[in-house]
Structure formats: C-alpha cells, structure tokens
Amino acid sequence: MQVLCSEPAWGRRTETLESELSTSTEGLEPTAVGTAVAEPGTPERAREPRGFAFTYWLATYGLFLGILTPILGGLAVRVQNMVGLDAAPGVLGLVMGVGSLFALVAQPLAGRLSDRTTSRFGMRRPWILGGVLVAGVSLALVGVVPSVWLLLVVWCLAQTASNFAQGPETASVADQVPHLRRGFISGLAGTATPLALLTGAALLNAMPNDALRNLVPALLATTFGLLFVFTLKDRVRLEPAAEKFSWKEFAGTFYFNPRTHRDLGWAWLTKALIMFAFGALGGFLTLFLGVQYRLSVEEQLGFNLSATMVQVAAMVIVSLIAGKWSDKVNRRKPFVIVGGVLVGLGVIVVALSPLAGASGLTVILVAEAILGIGAGLFFGVDQAMCIDVLPDKENMAKDLGVLNIANTLPAMIAPFLAGTIFIPIGTSLFGGGYALWFAFAGVVGIVGGLLVMKIRTVK
C-alpha cells in the first residue's frame, strides 16, 4: 500500500484541522503535576508526554477488565445461578440492555462537562477520578447482591460511572497525542480490549464464586485508573466557556448534525454496526454453549477461556501491527473496512457451528480466530480514524462521547433483540434461536465494514 504524493483538497483541509486540534490550547495552562499539550502558538509536539502511553494503556485495560469480565460471562453465570438457564436470556437482556442505556447517556455528558471544567486539578482528571472510584465499588457489588433488581441497579451504576471515566480518558488522547502518533496509541489501546477479555476469562474460570469473579477485576480497574489520574499531565482551562451550560446545550450533548458533519456521521454509523456484531456473542455465547452443547457452568467458563485465548492472540498481534502500519502509510479506512467484514464473518461462523456436529466447538474456535483478526484491525485503527474526523476543537470530548454512543447503543439494543425477539422466536420456530441471532448480527457487521468507504476526509 502506497501513500499518494498528491492529495485532494479535502485531504489538506483534514491536515489543517488535525494541526489545530493538536496545537490549540487557548485558555489552558499546565497543572501542578505536568505540562499542557502545547504552549499557545507553539508548533505541534512530536510525541505525547513521557509515560502517557503506558498509564493510558493501563487505565484502559483496567476499565475494560472491570466492565468486560461481567459481559464476557460473569453476568450470564450470575443470572443462571439466580433464575436458571431457561429464563436467563430474557433477564440477561434486561440487565445488559438497561445498563447500556445509562452508559449511552453518561459518556457524551461526561465529555461535554470535562470540556467545560475549570478545576485547578485539570479538565479531565476530576471526572476520571470520580468515575473510577464509583465504578470500582459498583462492579464489586455485582457479585454479591441477592436479587435481579439489585443486580440491575448496581450494573447501571457501574456502566454510568465507568463511562464517566472513559469519556475524559479518551479525550486525553486528543489533548496529548500528535496526529502521526495517534495510530500507535490507538493500536496500543486496541490491545487493552483483548487482554482484558483474556484476563477476565481466566479470572472467571479460576475464581470459585460470583463474589470473587467480580471483586478482583473491580480492584484492578480501580488501581490502574487511579495510577492514570495521578500521573496525567492534564490541561487546565483558565476561562469558563462563553455560554452557560443550558438545557439546550445539555440536549446537544447527545447528537450532531450528520448532514453538516457527514464523515463524523458515517464514522458513527459504521462503528455502531461493527460493534453490534462484535458484541453479539457477549454473554449469549455462554448461554449458547449451555443450550446447544449441553455444557455445565464450569464447562462453559472453561471453553470461554479457550475461545478467548484464541481471539486475544489474534487481536493483540493484529492490533499492534495495524495501528503502527496505519501511521506509516497514513491510511485508516482499509484497516477498518477489512476489520468490520471479518468481525461479521466470525460471528456468522459461530452461527453455523452446529452444522459441524461433534466438531462444532472446534468451529467456534476457528470463528474466534477470524473475529479476533477483524477486531484487531478495527480496534487498532478505529480510534485514530474517529479522532481524525472530529470537526470542532473546542468540543473534542463531547464529540468523542457522541461517537462512543456508537459503542453503547448497540450494547443496549442487542441484548433486548437477542433475549426478547431472535432467541425466543428462533427457538420456537426451528430450535435455533441463538444461531439466528448470531447470523443476523454477523450480517450487520459486514454491512458496517463496507460502509466505511463512505468516509471521505480520511484515507
């Protein structure tokens, strides 16, 4: 793949915008613990502050570990133990779906508030600190609450708090990292998801009860998040925003005009469709193993660990290579396109696994490898591509938060669709409700990958 020597006018406009995003710090100054991204009027720095990449990766890994361990199987097992295998899909869909609704609201709101924060401790740090602490406590409670309704409450609180941390954390990349290092940081952060999945699967398999399956990831998430908070060279906003935070601005936190910002709109839609497919397995693969292959809870968790190891090996290797390579060739779209298509194909192969009979579990492992390669390409480059299409340097965290709705909205819709429509209807019609669900989600992911071609201001 070669970088063209000449580029159209929209490419030059993109570089100008990226330069403005990286160098504009009007109204900002260093905090007591570090320096700002750049002094006003100085050229873009060549690298992010020393230590930022490592602590940002740890914080991302910890937050994903805390949230993804329950999603990977912890919630499914917890619900099975509460209501039984037959009733589990509906209850799991309710808990995961409502929790994602809270996440959908929380992250763009946190981003907008951090953009406007004038605390002497920084713009991002106060929100990350509060989010990390509340999320840690809530995630620990997931494993010990005695009823479905209390489980719903603490899971919603955990989703809200973790997104209040994640929104400003992601915005710190736009604050701190220059354009031609964002692919590397995106690729590095992309490894946090698979490694969190692997660690979570191992903890689920190793811990003897629901309480420890949730407490240990919660403690690690809190520890790594606090490390990032207290080492972040955050920016301080000296002047308040020109306009007061009104109800109109609050409503504007959750949307943008896709006709005015077409590429941001396409980036949002493609991310949503690909994440819909990627999240389709989630806790439902665990239930699928119990229904289709008659595995016990212990066997479900053991196979989940094997499947996650296969997926993670592919994701980590591909994510690191893809992020660095996208910087080198100065291209993002091809990686995200192929990644989305492979994610969809991997989920479809899971749907087809029962056709292989006794080899069905082996086929699922092959599907996990395909999905892992696709997810590595996607997660390794998608964050860099999304930052590249941001239209407003004054509201970066807000726009990143709106983009994150593309992560959380599918996570809200998918469990409801799976637990209340596809699985029950497919089971009653032909006994293959889980296969129907996985096949539908896979097609959605492929469409999302192909629609990335609609984005024009990123190569």
Would you list the DSSP string of 442-456?
HHHHHHHHHHGGG--
pLDDT of residue 359: 92
Contact 389, 182 (CB under 8 A): no
Q: Is residue 10 predicted with pLDDT exceeding 60?
A: no
Task: Tell me the CATH architecture of domain 50-235+257-454.
Answer: Up-down Bundle (1.20)
Query: In angstroms, what CA-CA distances link 172 with 48, 75, 186, 223?
Result: 10, 31, 12, 19
Distance CA(164)–CA(158), nearest Å, equals 10
Average pLDDT over residues 372-397: 75
Average pLDDT over residues 90-118: 79
More confident residue, 422 or 316: 422
Distance CA(37)–CA(49), nearest Å, equals 8
pTM of the complete model beyond 0.85: no
List, for residues 128-167, the tens digit of each pLDDT value. Answer: 899 999 999 999 999 899 889 999 999 999 999 998 888 7
pLDDT of residue 88: 83
Q: Is residue 373 predicted with pLDDT exceeding 70?
A: yes
Q: Rank 3-7, 76-80, 220-224, 243-247 by mean pLDDT and report only the highest.
A: 220-224
pLDDT of residue 247: 55
Distance CA(246)–CA(266), nearest Å, equals 28
Q: Strand, coil or helix: what is 43?
A: coil
Banded model confidence at residue 261, pLDDT cuts 50, 70, 90: low
pLDDT of residue 61: 94
pLDDT of residue 242: 53
pLDDT of residue 34: 37
Q: For a pLDDT cut of 90, what percent of the chain falls above it? A: 24
Distance CA(274)–CA(378), nearest Å, equals 9
pLDDT of residue 346: 96
Beta partners for 237? 28
Distance CA(70)–CA(207), nearest Å, equals 13
Contact 89, 424 (CB under 8 A): yes
Average pLDDT over residues 368-378: 92
Contact 280, 414 (CB under 8 A): yes
pLDDT of residue 246: 58
Distance CA(392)–CA(429), nearest Å, equals 50
Contact 268, 403 (CB under 8 A): yes
Stretch among 41-45, 93-97, 191-195, 347-351 having the lowest mean pLDDT: 41-45
pLDDT of residue 444: 95
Structural domain boundaries in the chain:
50-235+257-454
Radius of gyration of the chain (CA): 21
